[in-house]
Each structure stands twice: as structure tokens, then as C-alpha cells.
Structure 1
Amino acid sequence: MGARGRAEGTGRMGTIGELGEFGLISRLVGRLPAGPAIALGPGDDAAVITAPDGRVTATTDLLVQGRHFRLDWSGPYEIGRKAAAQNLADVVAMGARPTALLVGLAVPPATEAAWAERLYDGLADECAETGAAIAGGDVVGAAEVVIAVTALGDLGGAPPLTRSGARPGDAVAVRGRLGHSSAGLDLFRAGADGPAELLDAHRRPRPPYTAGAEARAAGATALLDVSDGLLQDLGHIAAASGVRIEIDSAAVPVPALLGPDGLRHALTGGEDHAFAATFPAGAVPPAWTAVGRVAAGSGVVVDGRSYGPGGWDHFAS
């Protein structure tokens, strides 16, 4: 069921504290559609997820109020979609098909129950983009909102696409928006009211979930989700593969919408959850944009020079 198919909540249904743990769970579970990989969903001590491949890809992320989202900038629906997207994108970046999410929610008891319902609507609707579903989770009271999401996926019998396969001579290409969330964050910090597209991009990423299948079909040698900035994340491929990655700034997609700092946003801005991959020369898929090449050496350079600082570090000041 899409976002428009759910009730927005008419009239007061009370706070989470008034509803209680099990009352909240009942409300949230009742809003969650089943998924094809969910053999046993919420209601028991653990869920049962089918794993036809015999292997399961797994990833997890935390979102903390004030660190990853602000309640005065984003509504619960956008926060839910963001929380799901950043995990689903990691599964896709392994060349896998997302199957299920497990969600842990810590929330102040005074929070309106309708807020939690809209959060889960966002989580469920983002899952629907990939065919995955929420299989279970946990709720707990806390002083601020914290969301923990674990995503599972199925490789369908194929090997995972890792960061360690890039070889000199490969092309480097990207798929999806770059720099939009970063530009939107700058606008929020400046108190600006537009462009709306950039503000929305910061609230909610839009990963191109077909990227994993496209990359695999084209023979990608390495693939990852761009979560912390293109250059920083390409640095992970360079380090894991023992190569140097050379980026041509003129080839990086920088729409005018990003403003005068567009290149900086595109190279160092995170949270768009685009994808970056390396492909054998001449094998870049049509929907992807070639932005550079793999060479012998180490590190990442732009137009032959180091570019920095940039990229996201959770423990940087």
C-alpha cells in the first residue's frame, strides 16, 4: 500500500506513553504489508526470512536525532524513507536483492502515536520500492529518537559485488544524484526556503535501486553506495583494490541547481545514496555516467591532484 493509501490520522490517538509498548506495536504492525521473502513476520520472538541462495547479505545503520535528522526539518514519513533507503542501498551495492528490514525504534513516551505510524509508513513505502518488507523489530522509550535498521538481501546465486575488484584500465562511473543532499543541508543551515528540490533531497534520498542489477549485468568489477561523499567512498575502492582512482571533474554530473559550489557538493557531499562502480573499459551501462578511470598506484585524485578536505566522518568535530 502506498503512502496515499494509508490514513493520515484524524483526531487524536494519544501519545506513545499513553498507548503503551504493546499498543504501539499492534498499531505499527497493522500498517505493515507482507513481503514475498517473509515466511514468518512480526508476532513471535523472531521473524523467519527465506534465503533461497543459502547466503544472506546483512547491513545495519543507526540514525540519531540531531545527528542524522532534525524534527524541525523533516517529518516522520521522510525520516522513515531515509532510514530505509540508506540500508536498502547498501544491500543493492552488494549486487543483492533486498528482502527484509528489522527496525529498532527508541522514542520519547510523549511522542504522538501518529508520528510513529507515519515513520513506519515511510519505512514500508521505501521497502516497497525494492520488493522488501519489514519483518520485525523493537520499540523502547528514550530521551530522543534513535532508529536502528538492519537490512537483509539475497544474492540469487551470484557472487557479491565488493570494493576489492577494481583493476587498472577499468572505467569509473556513477549512477544517481550527487551533491543534492549536501546542498540541501547548506540551505537548511542558512534558513533558506528553497530550492524545494534540494531541501527534499536532504530529507529523503532517492537511490536508483536498479543500479545493482545494471552493474552486475555489465560486468562491474567493484560497486558501492555513495553515502559519505563520492571521493571518500571511491577511496574505499582504491584502498580495497590496491589501485589509484583518477576523476575528471568535467565529467562529474553537476546540475546548475547545485549552485556555485556544485562541484564540491557532488564530490564530497554524502547521503544521496547514489552508486559508484568500476567497469571494464567500454562496458559502462547506458544509465551510468563515466567520471574517470582506474590506474596503478593508490588514493583518489581529481584532475591529477588531491582534492580535499571532504566527505563525512561520524566522529569528526
Structure 2
Amino acid sequence: MSDDRSGQPTLADVGEDGLLAAIFPRLPHAAGTLVGPGDDTAVVNAPDGRVVATTDVLVEGRDFRRDWSSAQDVGWKAAAQNLADVAAMGAVPTALLVGLVAPPELEVSWAVGLADGLAAACSGTGAGVVGGDLSSGPLIVVSVTALGDLQGRDPVLRSQARPGEVVAVAGPLGRSAAGWELLRLGRGDVAAELVAAHRRPTPPYASGVVAAVAGATSMLDVSDGLGRDLGRIARASGVGINLDGWLADASAFPELLAAAQVLSDPSLVLSWVLGGGEDHCLVATFPADATLPDGFDRIGEVIPATGPAPVLLDGEPLDTLGWDHFRP
């Protein structure tokens, strides 16, 4: 980690105005931005008349480590997890608002790198960074609020799944969790693509609109683990979910199995697939007679409510797996 002895300008050296002057030119602009950064508020076009809004916070040491991830990686991840939330409602992203808390001795180059990562993640999504806030504190905290447009469609909620429907997923499962485990155990050299998936997840943003148009009845992005997040759909909808047994077959995930074998624990594959989050893939339910849209693969079915265990794996209760911000 850098400090004021590195010879690089710090936030204390340039001050808030100097930092903003360095960052503003690097922020992406979106066509729907009517007033961008620099005023008391931004003004963003809302052609649908409704605004989808979500926010997430990344805390240094809890959600990212600077010895594992570059500033660009952190910016990318902060944007990606919010853009995925917008996509999970069947909307398209329009704007991001970014708050940064940082120690005064942080190098300006790190904050500039964060802006570059935000811009890179927004590229091709239609979203721009329209403003935010700065403050000082002992740790780096990055807060992102994303706005989106439903384009006249109804939002796809978590609460509309019904028994008999198909559960399907778009995007990879378990890759970010595997990358995190490799980094934790000092084996980040084993599978560069898995480590990259942890540092810079690539959610299937466009699949959110595709799913909404195809008639998805419920949807969310997998941020805390497939089992935990599907439990949220099940509870909100008053149903159960039975996942197909092939998800427990490690050989169905050769890339993950190879990494787990290097770590001498093939059982890790199951925990990565069912409990790993931060890939931000999209999981949705569709009517039984619907044709799954391109990019979605069946992983289970919606069943009547099953009692205290809302998610089953091949008919057996699935142990709670996944991330909880308030547990070790």
C-alpha cells in the first residue's frame, strides 16, 4: 500500500478540487445525461417516467484488498455489481453516482485509477458517471448508486415465481469465488482467468432485458451465492426451488475442478458453484412452456413451498451457502 513517503502526490497534496480536476475528464458520459458532474446535482433523462435505483458499498479489507486488486479492478467491480442489479430488474443502466472515502495519504494515482476502472466497466452499457461525493477516513470506501430505465416494461421482481416454472441462469457460476480462494491461499498463479473473474466480473448485462422481453417472472443477480440468492426468490414468492442434480457434479465445471484439484480439495467446486457470489450472473424463472432466451441455461424448477429449507438440490435440502456481510 502506498503512503506519503512514496514520492507520489497524495490526496492531501492536491485537495478535493485538485482531485476532482484530475477525475472529471476521465469519467464516462452517457447520452441521457443532461447535466453532468460539477453542479449540486446531475440531471438525467428518464424517458420511461420511472427510475430504477440501486446502491452498493465496497469497504477496503472487507470487500477488496489493495494487494490483490488494482484501483482499476476496484472501480470495475464497484460499477459491475450495480450495473448487474439494474439488469436484474429488466432495465438498462443510465447513470452512476460514486462516493469515495479515502485516507489523505492515499496517492492521487489510485483515485484516478478507480475512475478509469469505473469508466471501463461502463463502456458499452450506456451508463455514465454523473457525480458523487468525496470524504476522508481511515479506510477506502467506494459507494456506487446506479440508475436505470425500464423502457416501458414492467420491472422483473423477485416475488412472482410460481410452481412449475423453470429456473435458468445466464453467465458463469463459481468463477469469482474460485479466484478469491486461489488468492487467499497464495495460488493466484494457478488459473489467471479465475483470478481475473474475481477482480473484474463480467455480468451478462444485456441478458436482463432479454429475459424481461422473453417473459421472465422473477430475476436477480447472483451476488451472495446461488443458493442464498435463490432462497430470496423463494421466500419473496412463497415457493420452493429444486435445483438439478448435475450442479453437484464437479466434472460439469472442468475449469473449476482443475483449480480445486490444485488445492487438493475437489469438494470446493460445489461450494463455489452454489455458494460463490460476485460473478453477478443473472438467475431467472420462466413459464414452463416458454423457450429459454439465448444465453440462459436451465438449472432447476420452481416447486411448492418446502418449509424451512426453501432451496433443494435434487430433492434434498441445500445447506445455506453464500456471503453474509455481518458474519465472518
User: For this structure pair, what is the TM-score category when the shorter chain's length is used for normalisation?
Assistant: over 0.9
Q: Distance in 2 between matches of 1:275 and 1:32?
A: 27
Q: Which of 27, 42, 66 is matched with 2:61 structurally?
A: 66
1:176 lines up with 2:171 in the alignment: yes
- Give the one of 242, 246, 265 matched to 1:246: 242
Q: State, as a whole percentage, how many aligned pairs show the same letter.
A: 54
Corresponding residue SS for 1:45: coil
1:171-199 per-residue CA deviation (whole Å, 9 max, x = no partner) reads 00001011111111111111112211111
The corresponding residue for 1:203 is 199
Correspondence for 1:308 among 307, 311, 319: 319
2:287 to 280, 289, 307: 280
Which of these residues, 132, 149, 153, is aligned with residue 148 of structure 2? 153
One-letter identity of the residue aligned with 1:200 = A
Question: Structure 2 residue aligned with 1:223, among 219, 223, 229?
Answer: 219
Q: Which amino acid aligns with 1:305?
A: E
CA contact (8 A) 2:28 2:119 kept: yes
Conserved 8 A contact 1:251-1:290: no
> Hey, what's the Cα distance between the residues in 1 that align with 2:321 and 2:107?
38
* Aligned: 1:112 with 2:107: yes
* Unaligned runs of at least 5 residues, structure 1: 1-11
The alpha-carbon distance between structure 1 residues 251 and 268, as it changes in their structure 2 partners (threshold 3 A), is closer
**Candidates 185, 192, 197, aligned match of 1:190:** 185
Letter paired with 1:276? V
Deviation at 1:210, TM superposition (A): 1.1
The correspondence of residues 11-26 of structure 1 with structure 2, limited to 5 A, is: 14-26=9-21
* Superposed displacement of residue 108, structure 1: 1.2
Match of 2:38 among 7, 28, 43: 43
Q: How far apart, in 2, do the equivalents of 1:302 and 1:124 lie?
A: 39
Counterparts of 1:252 and 1:133, CA distance in 2: 40
Q: CA deviation at 1:128?
A: 1.6
- Could you tell me which amino acid in structure 2 is paired with residue 145 of structure 1? I
Tell me which amino acid in the other structure corresponds to 2:116: D
Query: Match of 1:316, SS?
Result: coil
d(CA) in 1 for partners of 2:135 and 2:175? 33
CA contact (8 A) 1:252 1:291 kept: no
Where in structure 1 do 4 or more consecutive aligned residues deviate above 4 Å?
251-254
User: Structure 2 regions of 5+ residues with no counterpart?
Assistant: 1-6, 258-265
Q: What's the CA shift for 1:164?
A: 0.8
Aligned match of 1:5: none
Could you tell me whether the CA contact under 8 Å between 1:256 and 1:262 is conserved in 2? no
Deviations 1:10-49 (A, max 9, x none): xx76111101111001110111232111100011111101
How far residue 243 of structure 1 moved from its aligned partner, in angstroms, is: 0.7
Q: 1:257 aligns with which of 255, 267, 277?
A: 255
Q: Which amino acid aligns with 2:323?
A: W
Q: What TM-score results when the alignment is normalised by the length of structure 1?
A: 0.94
The CA RMSD over aligned residues, in Å, is: 1.5
| Equivalent residue, structure 2, for 1:297 | 305
CA contact 1:167–1:243 (8 Å) conserved in 2:
yes
Q: Determine if contact 1:301/1:307 at 8 Å carries over to the other structure.
A: yes
- State the alpha-carbon separation in 1 of the partners of residues 105 and 114 from structure 2: 16
Q: Which moved more, 1:58-67 or 1:179-188?
A: 179-188
**Residue 214 (str. 1) matches residue 207 (str. 2):** no
Residue type at the aligned position of 1:270: G
How far apart are 1:76 and its partner, in Å? Answer: 0.4
Give the deviation of 1:252 after TM superposition: 7.2
Distance (whole Å) between structure 2 residues aligned to residue 256 and residue 148 of structure 1: 35
- Separation in structure 2 between the aligned mates of residue 288 and residue 95 of structure 1, nearest angstrom: 14
